[in-house]
Amino acid sequence: MLRWMRSVAAVTLAAALVAGAGPAAFADKGKDGKDGQSEGRGAEHEHFVRVTGFFDLSPTDDWAAPYITQLFLSGMAKGDGHGRFNPKASISEAEAVTMVVRTVYGGDAQAQAQAAEKVAAAMPSVAPPVVGPGKGKGEAGSVYAAYLQTHTDWNVESLTHSAPWSLPYVALAVYDGLLDGHEPFQANRAASREWATELLVKGFVATGVLQADAVAHPDLTVLNRFKDAGQLTVAAQPYVAAAVAAGIVDGYPDHTFRPQAAISRAEFAAILARSSDQAGPTGAAVRGTVVSVDPAARKLTVTPDDDGNASAATYVVDANALIYIRVGGRVVNGAAGALSLADIQPGDEVSLYLDAQGEVALIYDRFELDDVSGTITTVHLATSTGDATTFTLKDADGQSHDFTLAPYGHIYLKGAEVSLTLLTEGSAATVQYHGTEAVTVRLGASGGEDEGGQQGDHSAGTTSLTGTVHDVIAQNAFTIDVVSSSDEHATVSFVYTVQTSAETEFEGVDGVAQLTPGEKVKVEGTVENFVIQATKVEAEEGD
């Protein structure tokens, strides 16, 4: 499997903005930036339409197709009843609540059961709610409507007319406090990114997937990566920060969060599919380890993960099944690099999703990542097409680990993605890896204990660069483009966070916020604890 992966062209992981992550991602536009309808044709498209019933997007060029397929097969997402998923359309508050509740409770059946149980306990004088088809209509729906009338000051009659199917999910959301602290719920109002982020985080806290302390004591500094962080409401900041810290959401490539913008149905499907991994397998998912593969007979034998005593089971794989690599909840190879059944090997960890006929319609070849912290001792940066970036990391016990940066690998500093040229000797780092391939490198982290029981000393290396300001992303943060030392036609980008106490000087102007794109600067500092401490920012000598 690793041999095949190394031949794949580099893939940019789509940003996950709430909710991609994702680990997320509402902002996920995929590698080609598309999130709209497609007229793709062919066997894969016909398979997709047959499995989901959606003819308005195609797995061959729609980045969200695998996520939408996953949610459909898991019973967490449905179309409009007329063969359309409407990926570009904004998702309504009623739709968002319904899908979030299904996700955090592990599927539609579990969500319905929880809603019925809790409403029955809260209103013992009312007949128990009905679970199953028609649960939001007629007598069954009136039970949930009665609960909402008793426990909210909303116009419940409007809700029962506009979105009766959402009543059990909305009632459960109210019961668990997912909608506390907001203006009255409006079923048909477009959900904003900020609102949806808070909703999802509250759902994960209510179900124990996230600890309440993640919201009660969040690290708000992670929001500095967004140049529009000031548009977040004060009430939403802890939830967005918790989502970023948990890897549920990231941000747009232009360093924005766009908190008040509406979320499309495709974006919402992507983040829910990614974040559902945090809640555990749902719906038709079978997670396990591959025992054997027979591509000719289209058979896959898997030992399930959920029961150590369970025997292996063999599944028939649809001839046009969608097969993807998935790392940390994200599909990383896209439609153009989709796998064939022959690419899956015994020992691979997989997630299978079955169609109505019991055949496997979607496969994720999952990479469960290990991690190690230490100090980078050697680095070889890729200098040409086909070359690979390699490096060695020494852990606190003195053991060396050799890595190759995966084609889809990424390097982060303070949660923001940075250029691979910031991977320097002497830098502290935490590496998440599969085999010998590094998937993520988080600079500035220290890990492991030395023999004396103390944290190892992983001092960061010093950085000194001259380049051009690319973008000012916050009051105290900016990006700089620098010509690569190995290729005069290539540029690399760095993200800098300037400490409040740092000396800043740029042609007599104080403050990073007054820098403008195109101006040349020299930056000196160190990478430590996810922060570049810029001790000096000044005009490049000679200009």
Q: In the prediction, which pLDDT does 23 show?
A: 27
Tell whether the model's pLDDT for residue 208 goes beyond 70. yes
Q: Give the residue, 336 or 351, on which the prediction is more confident.
A: 351
Residue type at position 1? M
Q: How far apart are CA 291 and CA 313, in angstroms?
A: 9
Query: What is the average pLDDT across 367-395?
Result: 85
Confidence of residue 194 (pLDDT cuts 50, 70, 90): very high
Confidence of residue 6 (pLDDT cuts 50, 70, 90): very low
Q: Give the residue, 123 or 140, on which the prediction is more confident.
A: 123
Contact between 282 and 74 under an 8 Å Cβ cutoff? The reply is yes
Tell whether the model's pLDDT for residue 538 goes beyond 70. no
Q: In the prediction, which pLDDT does 542 show?
A: 44
Hey, which of 8-22, 60-74, 438-452 has the most confident mean pLDDT? Answer: 60-74
Q: In the prediction, which pLDDT does 255 show?
A: 75
The gap from C-alpha 200 to its chain's centroid, in whole angstroms, comes to 12
Q: Considering the chain, what is the average pLDDT of its residues?
A: 73
Query: What is the average pLDDT across 352-380?
Result: 88
Contact between 370 and 433 under an 8 Å Cβ cutoff? The reply is yes
Q: In the prediction, which pLDDT does 392 show?
A: 96
Q: In the prediction, which pLDDT does 337 show?
A: 59
Q: In the prediction, which pLDDT does 8 show?
A: 29
461 burial (CB, 10 Å; 0-12 / 13-18 / 19+) is middle
202 burial (CB, 10 Å; 0-12 / 13-18 / 19+) is buried
Tell whether the model's pLDDT for residue 285 goes beyond 80. no
Query: What is the average pLDDT across 362-376?
Result: 87
C-beta contacts of 107-110 below 8 A and 24+ residues apart: 107/74, 107/75, 107/76, 107/282, 107/283, 108/75, 108/76, 108/283, 109/75
Q: Is the peptide bond before 19 cis (omega within 30 degrees of 0)?
A: yes
Q: How far apart are CA 152 and CA 394, in angstroms?
A: 57
Confidence of residue 493 (pLDDT cuts 50, 70, 90): low
> Helix 193-206 and helix 93-104: axis angle, to 10°?
30
Q: In the prediction, which pLDDT does 63 show?
A: 75
Q: In the prediction, which pLDDT does 369 show?
A: 79
Confidence of residue 31 (pLDDT cuts 50, 70, 90): very low
Confidence of residue 452 (pLDDT cuts 50, 70, 90): very low
Confidence of residue 532 (pLDDT cuts 50, 70, 90): very low
Confidence of residue 400 (pLDDT cuts 50, 70, 90): very high
The gap from C-alpha 452 to its chain's centroid, in whole angstroms, comes to 38
Q: In the prediction, which pLDDT does 376 show?
A: 92
Contact between 498 and 510 under an 8 Å Cβ cutoff? The reply is no
With pLDDT > 70 as the criterion, what percentage of the chain qualifies?
65
Token digits of residue 312:
């292996």
Name which of 55-59, 136-140, 236-240 the model is least confident about.
Answer: 136-140
HSE, CB side, 13 Å, CA atoms: give it for residue 6: 16
Query: What is the average pLDDT across 511-530?
Result: 62
Q: How far apart are CA 441 and CA 333, in angstroms?
A: 19
Please give the full DSSP string across 351-420, using - where no structure is assigned: EEEE-TTSSEEEEEEEEPPEEEEEEEEEEE---STT---EEEEEETTS-EEEEEEEEEEEEEETTEEE-G
Q: In the prediction, which pLDDT does 155 show?
A: 84
Q: Give the residue, 3 or 263, on which the prediction is more confident.
A: 263
Q: How far apart are CA 286 and CA 493, in angstroms?
A: 41
Distance, first Cα to last Cα, the chain? 51
Contact between 203 and 178 under an 8 Å Cβ cutoff? The reply is yes
Which residue(s) pair with 21 in the sheet? none
Tell whether the model's pLDDT for residue 298 goes beyond 80. yes
